[in-house]
Amino acid sequence: APLNSFVRPPRMTLRYLNEDENSLDAEATVADIESLMRQLQLGTLSVGDFCSSFERMWNFEVRKDVIPAEIFEPLDALFDEVVWYSPAPMDQWEYPKYRDDSEVREAVAIAQLAVVPKR
């Protein structure tokens, strides 16, 4: 096939951009985030990988306008913790707002308690 016939495969995130299916978007979005949280809890995803995945998802893939407020607020609070994750040992931190593995795991547990029962 000629090079100009290349078709980029659809990205999973396109479903968040479909404004005609807001409830599906919200459900799919929260399900993806819950899956990330479960993977962290099960140990199949490191804290660093969770943080980078969640941050990318929250910043660039999630349609926040379709998520109900009672679910959005704890996830947004989780984002505020995740962005401060540092894999460096605490004694090397130059900024007091950094978060370590245990603090991120605690923030995830709090978000799970707030989000999962509401679905």
Asked if pLDDT for residue 14 goes beyond 80, the answer is no
Asked if pLDDT for residue 20 goes beyond 70, the answer is no
User: Residue 78: what are its φ and ψ, rounded to 5°?
Assistant: -65, -45
User: Are 34 and 50 a contacting pair, CB within 8 Å?
Assistant: no
Residue 40: which residues within 8 A CB-CB, separation 6 or more? 46, 47, 50, 105, 108
What secondary structure does DSSP assign to the chain, as a single string? --GGG--PPPPGGGGGG-GGGHHHHHHHHHHHHHHHHHHHHHTSS-HHHHHHHHHHIIIII--GGGS-HHHHHHHHHHHHHHTTB--S-GGG-SSTT-B-HHHHHHHHHHHHHHHGGG-
Cα 11 to the chain's mean position, in Å?
Answer: 17
User: Are 58 and 36 a contacting pair, CB within 8 Å?
Assistant: no
pLDDT tens figures, 59-115: 998 888 888 899 999 999 999 999 999 988 877 777 778 999 999 999 999 999 988
The pLDDT score that the predictor gives to residue 27 is 82
Asked if pLDDT for residue 25 goes beyond 90, the answer is no
